[in-house]
Amino acid sequence: MQIDPSLHSNEDNYRVLTNLVVPRPIAWVTSLSQTGVINLAPFSFFNAVGGDPLYVVISIGCRDDGAPKDTAKNIQTSGDFVVNLVTEDLLGAMNISAADFPSTESELIAANLHVAPSVHAKAPRLAQAQASLECKLYHSQSLGTNTLFIGEVVMFHVADHLLGPRLQIKNFAPIGRLGSPATYCRTTDRFEVPRVTYAQWQKDSR
């Protein structure tokens, strides 16, 4: 079956897209408002898109009333944000932080979370997260009703128990988002597939 998005509602198209492009990693973003409120919210239109320099993207829509979300406003005004990664122990807190809290109220208190200072970003990082990426806003770009934010990663914070020799990350298992609105997956079922060179493939296929 073919599904032509031009013949369907935005809502249906969004559901199809977000049930096909899975699993999506979740950026659990801390950002700082102009009045000093620490905001926390999850975004699964998120990925790593550059290695040198290190770039990540998040894409933020509008609230139901058309107003910008707090995270988008804060990143535009402060010029930085922190992506905290969500492990299963933090899933309940992540879900609470996605509620439409007023701008004046920090999600941190409701979700029973604490922050630790960042090194370069004004926005603090989540103390309970096993890994966080401090990001400086590199560029923002309108994408229809969303805004795409490209952040340059300027500092990693990684829990000691995840680190092996030569910066090897061991057994980090953040959750992923499957179909929206509320299906998730674990990333603990793993397997290795060694890469092949073209020469190796030619030799093996003879």
- Find the shortest distance in angstroms from Cβ 142 to ligand FMN: 13
- Find the shortest distance in angstroms from Cβ 167 to ligand FMN: 28
Using CB under 6 A as the criterion, what x/- string covers residues 157-186 for binding ligand FMN?
A: --------------------x---------
The closest of 162, 188, 187 to 26, measured between CA atoms, is 187
| 25-59 per-residue burial string, b: 16 or more CB within 10 A, e: under 16 | bbbbbbbbbeeebbbbbbbbbbeeeeeeeebbbbb
For position 39 contacting ligand FMN by CB under 6 A, the verdict is yes
Which residues make Cβ contacts (< 8 Å) with residue 105, sequence separation at least 6?
Answer: 37
- Find the shortest distance in angstroms from Cβ 193 to ligand FMN: 28
For position 42 contacting ligand FMN by CB under 6 A, the verdict is yes
For position 98 contacting ligand FMN by CB under 6 A, the verdict is yes
Please, which residue, 51 or 102, has the CB nearer to ligand FMN? Answer: 102
For position 54 contacting ligand FMN by CB under 6 A, the verdict is no
**Residues at the contact surface with ligand FMN, assessed by CB under 6 A:** 26, 39, 41-45, 59-61, 69-71, 98, 100, 177
